[in-house]
Amino acid sequence: MEYVDLHTHSTASDGTETPEALVRAAAACGLKAVALTDHDTAAGLDEAEAAGHACGIRVVRGCELAARTPYGEAHILGLWLPRDLGRLGSALEALREKRALRNMRMVEKLCGLGLDISCEEVLREAGEGSVGRPHMAAVLVRKGYAHSVREAFARYLGYGGAAFVEREVLEPAQAVQLLCEAGATAVLAHPCLLPCPRDWLEGFVRELAGAGLTGLEAYHSEHDAAQTRQCVELAGKYGLELSGGSDFHGGNKPGIRLGVGRGGLRVPAFVLERLLARRARLGLPA
Ligand code: AMP
Ligand code: ZN
Ligand code: FE
Ligand code: FE
């Protein structure tokens, strides 16, 4: 059986592997395809695609967008992003600007708590990437303000943490429409991680399906068997495809490996084939 991984992050956002290293690693573990889905950016895609050509693995150009819900952020993956992003490109840029504002406000809060941390340090930690809380967490751990990333989130950076600031994100249907308009395939990421009632999730999926959603990420490192089954059922009910990926972040999410997640994840290649077939039916390029 052949396997794929359709959800990964590189140094272009908050992962620790470069796009090239990530794609090479995916090829080395025998995956048939890998999608690079960095937060709010397409910056790593050309490098990833070139590495894919060099080592014979299919690379799907993707990104991950956050959307507002009453239960916190829902995440929407865009797969098969076009090379010329058009309006999606300006939307991604605006999201990165909002990220930067939010990061600044969070750093100010950390300073207000008496911690010695600057925006420059956080930016340096992120390198070229789309900057986020994992970069702040890395600085906090390095400077001894937290023992681990987990502790940094629990005390300071997570929802309810002392330095938490809400981030301005898209409306869910707007995110889906933006991706569809660009010719990408929109997939609701890790649906069961949203802390919402079951019937609310169903209504949400129905609404997104109406806006052009193609699939649900049933297979994910943090989904258990029952949650995967719930997604499969929901997808069946609303005529959606399935997707799956590890949400690999390298050292920023220890314990999650490409293709296998925490060990038990396997996304069969037919998941990719079905997404491709759906695109072909819509006349969209692969
Ligand atoms: P941001 O995009 O800046 O809002 O940061 C979100 C990222 O932070 C997610 O992609 C996760 O990788 C990471 N994250 C969120 N909550 C936690 C947590 N409690 N522990 C560790 N990492 C987290
Ligand atoms: Zn991330
Ligand atoms: Fe996510
Ligand atoms: Fe992700």
| pLDDT tens-digit series, residues 103-139 | 999 999 999 999 999 999 999 999 888 899 999 999 9
pTM: 0.95
Rounded (5°) CA angle 272-41-192: 55
Ligand nearest to the CA of 134: 1
Q: Is 61 exposed, middle or buried (0-12, 13-18, 19+ CB in 10 A)?
A: buried
Which ligand 1 atom is at minimum distance from the Cα of 132? Answer: 3
Write the CB contacts of 94 (distance below 8 Å, at least 6 apart in sequence): none
Instruction: List CB-based neighbours of ion ligand 3 within 5 Å.
Output: 75, 189
Whole-number pLDDT of residue 252: 86
Please work out whether the CB of residue 39 comes within 6 Å of at least one atom of ligand 1: yes
Please work out whether the CB of residue 150 comes within 6 Å of at least one atom of ligand 1: yes
Please work out whether the CB of residue 190 comes within 6 Å of at least one atom of ligand 1: no
Ligand nearest to the CA of 137: 1
Q: Per the structure block, which two tokens stand in for 181? A: 């308009």
Q: Per the structure block, which two tokens stand in for 152? A: 């940094």
State in Å: Cα 15 to ligand 2 middle: 7
CA pseudo-torsion sign 180, 182, 183, 188: negative
Whole-number pLDDT of residue 129: 84
Report the distance separating Cα 265 and Cα 267, nearest Å: 7
Q: Per the structure block, which two tokens stand in for 138? A: 């890395």
Q: Are 258 and 30 in contact (CB under 8 A)?
A: no
- Rounded (10°) CA dihedral 124, 25, 33, 180: -10
Q: Are 73 and 171 in contact (CB under 8 A)?
A: no
Q: Per the structure block, which two tokens stand in for 139? A: 């600085």
State in Å: Cα 114 to ligand 3 middle: 31
State in Å: Cα 38 to ligand 3 middle: 9
Write the CB contacts of 282 (distance below 8 Å, at least 6 apart in sequence): none
Report the distance separating Cα 267 and Cα 270, nearest Å: 8
Please work out whether the CB of residue 248 comes within 6 Å of at least one atom of ligand 1: no
153, 159, 256, best to mutate for ligand 1 pocket (most atoms within 8 Å of CB):
153
Question: For the segment 242-272, what is each residue's pLDDT rounded down to a tens digit?
Answer: 999 999 999 988 899 999 999 999 999 999 9
In the predicted model, residues of the chain with pLDDT beneath 70 are none
Which ligand 1 atom is at minimum distance from the Cα of 40? Answer: 2
Q: Are 8 and 36 in contact (CB under 8 A)?
A: yes
Please work out whether the CB of residue 96 comes within 6 Å of at least one atom of ligand 1: no
* Residue closest to 163 by CA, chosen among 123, 141, 142, 136: 136
